């Protein structure tokens, strides 16, 4: 028996309507319906609330449903990957700022081009991390990858044609 069938059976045994159960769990009746029809699964917090409402163990709810176990396991992996990326992103940003501080970038007067390079560099780092995260965790959403490539292209373009661009913008 899958989770949806168990939830529907338990709700009927305890004489709850979908609306009554939804109010008790602080979710919508549509969420209860989706769970019972196997269109979605409750998160771990709602599973605990369901086990308490029906006075049953979590084992009873999830042990026989391998698909649910896999989904809960994937959510756990995604959370760990997300935490890793947050820590890695913070460390890269700290490293970048410390390099800029050590090079006394913020202490001296820089032209528009210097600030443009630094800004594009930060954008490139942000888009690179977002594209890696989306690829590993969600296996889609390549918009950040293209944004990273576009930013890198802008860095190369500005680097190659910096003098020409400055002459166009600020003629002598």
39 and 96 assigned to the same domain: no
Domains contained in the chain, number: 2
127 and 52 assigned to the same domain: no
114 and 52 assigned to the same domain: no
pLDDT class of 75 with cuts at 50, 70, 90: low
164 and 105 assigned to the same domain: yes
- Mean of the pLDDT values across residues 20-47? 89
Q: What local confidence, expressed as pLDDT, does residue 12 receive?
A: 93
Q: Please give the structure tokens belonging to residue 151.
A: 């930013």
Q: What is the span of the domain harbouring residue 31?
A: 3-64
Tens digit of pLDDT for each residue in 118-171? 888 888 888 888 777 777 666 666 777 778 888 888 888 877 777 777 777 777
46 and 92 assigned to the same domain: no
- Mean of the pLDDT values across residues 91-100? 83
Q: Sort 104 into a burial class: Cβ within 10 Å, 0-12 / 13-18 / 19+.
A: exposed
Give the separation between CA 60 and CA 51, rounded to whole angstroms: 9
What mean pLDDT, rounded, does the chain reach?
81
Residue 69 lies in a domain: no
């Amino acid at each position: 028996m899958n989770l949806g069938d168990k939830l529907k059976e338990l709700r009927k045994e305890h004489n709850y309507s979908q609306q009554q159960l939804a109010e008790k769990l602080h979710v919508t009746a549509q969420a209860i319906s989706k769970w019972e029809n196997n269109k979605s699964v409750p998160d771990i917090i709602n599973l605990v609330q369901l086990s308490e409402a029906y006075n049953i163990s979590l084992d009873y709810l999830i042990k026989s449903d391998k698909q649910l176990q896999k989904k809960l396991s994937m959510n756990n992996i995604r959370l760990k990957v997300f935490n890793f990326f947050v820590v890695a992103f913070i460390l890269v940003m700290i490293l970048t700022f410390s390099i800029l501080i050590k090079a006394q970038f913020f202490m001296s007067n820089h032209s528009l081009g210097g600030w443009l390079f630094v800004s594009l560099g930060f954008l490139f780092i942000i888009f690179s991390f977002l594209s890696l995260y989306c690829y590993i965790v969600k296996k889609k959403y390549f918009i950040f990858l293209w944004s990273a490539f576009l930013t890198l292209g802008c860095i190369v373009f500005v680097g190659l044609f910096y003098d020409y661009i400055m002459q166009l913008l600020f003629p002598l």
